Structure 1
Amino acid sequence: MPTVKGSITIEGEVVPITNPDKPLWPQQGITKMIYLEKLAALAPYLLRYLKGRLLTVIRYPHGVEGMSFYQKNAPDPLPPYIHTTMHEGINYITLDGLPGLLWLGNSAALEFHPSLHAAGSTLPCEWMIDLDPSLDEEPRIMEAAALVGDVLKSLGIESVPKTSGATGVQIIVPIKPGVTFDELRKLGLFVGRYVTEQHPSLFTLERLKKHRGDKIYFDYLQHYGGKTLAAPYTPRARPLATVSTPLTWEEVRSGASPEQFHLLNITDRLSQTGDLIALLPPQPVERVIKALP
């Protein structure tokens, strides 16, 4: 990335760089400039799940130890390489390339939460099941993910688990265009009821956290237009600079921890594994949905 004082030129666009030495993840020694370098290395993977979607970011102007805020509406003014889409009264950023990603990184956007559908569409891009622990530390989360993966496989559906980068796990199923959010929620409810009946001490469908006790919430209701989840490969504003990382099922069964995957080692991992989600073809969820009562 060619640099001049106060900016980076990338793909012919000038991206301003302010306070490059500002610590963003002090515990890991990651300054803003280091973050932008890591973000550029992650871009071929991360942008696959951000491009053309309604984007919410979480900004930490003073790093992860400071205050934060969600940014849904695009700020003003915008550089020419940042495009937006109006949706339900909100003017969302819709990224289409690396300059826009780095521009957001310079604004201390440390987390990227895209919509589950493309801008202008009402159809989901993939099916996601969100497993949300009720405890701050949940040693059973990988056990729970493995059980859900086994149920999906018994239905003829292959899937990819990923760490949220925080406490939860998402299970991602690539789908063909045309499946609706309503259909995926129906399928999610079917799977969720099954695992909660089979493992009542581990899973719950209770939405309110105060009523869940120590159980892991099987969230199938998150799958709506306009809802967001942490993107695959997004950094997270956690002390260790963890990254939401797709895993193999072998890693899940061996008890992988979200803290293992962070900005300082994620690109080495990706050079070995590639994008595990992109390697999985669309799954035949329509066949299962048709068979549901």
Structure 2
Amino acid sequence: MNKRRVLVEGREILISNPDKILYPDVPLTKWDWILHMTRLAPYILPYCRNRYLTTIRYPDGVNGKFFYQKNIPEHAPDWIPTAKNGDIVYILLNDVPTLVYLANLACLEFHVSFDRADNPGCPTELVFDLDPSVEGFDAVMEVALWTKEVLDQMGLTSVVKTSGATGLQIYVPISPQYSFEETRMINRFIARYLAEKHPRRITLERSVKQRGDKVYFDYLQHWRGKSLTAPYSTRARAHATVSTPLQWEELRPGLQPEQFTLETIHSRLEQWGDLFAPVSRPNTRHSLKEILRFVRQQG
């Protein structure tokens, strides 16, 4: 069986089946994909560090069967960093060797918690997940821009990224001292305000069948025990799309999430740098004290 041994920051890792095709449409082998991951490590790790990790594994590539993994595999080396939360022992994606180890397992998607293992129960951002109910990206961009307007009016800076699939996700860095219940109050207030202001475009309906052609404004995903695609994570889609941070000015008709792939992300990073840095390495985290006071007054 074809194998390679690599030394990554002093850790020896056995790469099995490096020539296996993971993304046939590109095409991209496991070895190719691992090399991409190591190049993206400086951008993936800052946000993922010390967060509870959920991976989606595709042992036979994107066209094969897949499964979610939260618990660390039994055969994992003892140097893999972990944290226990409830009955689950999560891997912490804290370093390059761990990233390469997970890449060898064909973990094509990395999803991380909204809080950190060193400060559990206190989310580090407000997060909004916008999903289209029908094909087309323009409506999602429109809703994202409306959301930014509201956040700007509240004095909150925000960063937007593609989900890597069909939606957009908006992050607001906050002081990690508030509970999920408190951040839920604010997220719900914003979601309801936008849905009432734009009822023909936005829905809060969780049932896909009941959404029609509206954009689903998902504020409920932001909760303890749940996760969202990490920035710069690949997705298990035909063309190896990447969850990519954007400049707000890029949200204009014609933009498509399929533009952001492993083939384009590196030149984009060279041109623009890490647009997610205000979230993963923030200079300022917003206080929610006054906003919470206002929302509570509204009942």
1:98 matched to which residue of 2? 96
CA distance in 2, matches of 1:284, 1:123: 13
CA distance in 2, matches of 1:39, 1:237: 14
CA 1:254–1:156 in structure 2 vs 1: closer, same or farther (change >3 Å)?
A: farther
1:58 matched to which residue of 2? 56
CA distance in 1, matches of 2:208, 2:275: 31
- Of 242-251 and 176-185, more deviation after overlay is shown by 176-185
Give 4+ residue runs of structure 1 displaced > 6 Å after superposition: none
SS in structure 2 opposite 1:17? Answer: strand
Deviations for 1:89-134, whole angstroms, at most 9, x for unmatched residues? Answer: 1121112200011100011000000111112511002111111222
Query: CA contact under 8 A between 1:61 and 1:68: conserved in structure 2?
Result: yes
2:86 matched to which residue of 1? 88
Superposition deviation, residue 139 in structure 1: 3.5
- Of 85-94 and 275-284, more deviation after overlay is shown by 275-284
CA distance in 2, matches of 1:141, 1:111: 22
Structure 1 residues 1-293: aligned runs within 5 Å: 6-120=4-118, 121-279=120-278, 281-292=284-295, 293=297
Deviations for 1:44-98, whole angstroms, at most 9, x for unmatched residues? Answer: 1111121111110001111111111111111111113212222221121112200
Report the identity percentage.
48
SS in structure 2 opposite 1:37? Answer: helix
CA distance in 1, matches of 2:33, 2:235: 12
Query: CA contact under 8 A between 1:54 and 1:94: conserved in structure 2?
Result: yes
- Of 270-279 and 121-130, more deviation after overlay is shown by 270-279
Query: CA contact under 8 A between 1:142 and 1:255: conserved in structure 2?
Result: no
SS in structure 2 opposite 1:9? Answer: strand
Query: CA contact under 8 A between 2:114 and 2:227: conserved in structure 1?
Result: yes
CA distance in 2, matches of 1:25, 1:52: 29
CA 1:136–1:76 in structure 2 vs 1: closer, same or farther (change >3 Å)?
A: farther
CA 1:275–1:289 in structure 2 vs 1: closer, same or farther (change >3 Å)?
A: farther
CA distance in 1, matches of 2:14, 2:47: 24
Ranges in structure 2 where 5+ consecutive residues have no aligned partner: none
Normalised to the residue count of structure 1, the TM-score between the two structures is 0.94
Match for 1:291: what amino acid?
A: F
Superposition deviation, residue 249 in structure 1: 0.7
Query: CA contact under 8 A between 2:137 and 2:256: conserved in structure 1?
Result: no
Match for 2:217: what amino acid?
A: F
CA distance in 2, matches of 1:262, 1:62: 20
Query: CA contact under 8 A between 1:174 and 1:277: conserved in structure 2?
Result: no
Deviations for 1:171-190, whole angstroms, at most 9, x for unmatched residues? Answer: 01111121221121111111
CA distance in 2, matches of 1:253, 1:179: 34
Ranges in structure 1 where 5+ consecutive residues have no aligned partner: none
Query: CA contact under 8 A between 1:172 and 1:277: conserved in structure 2?
Result: no
Superposition deviation, residue 202 in structure 1: 0.7
SS in structure 2 opposite 1:130? Answer: strand
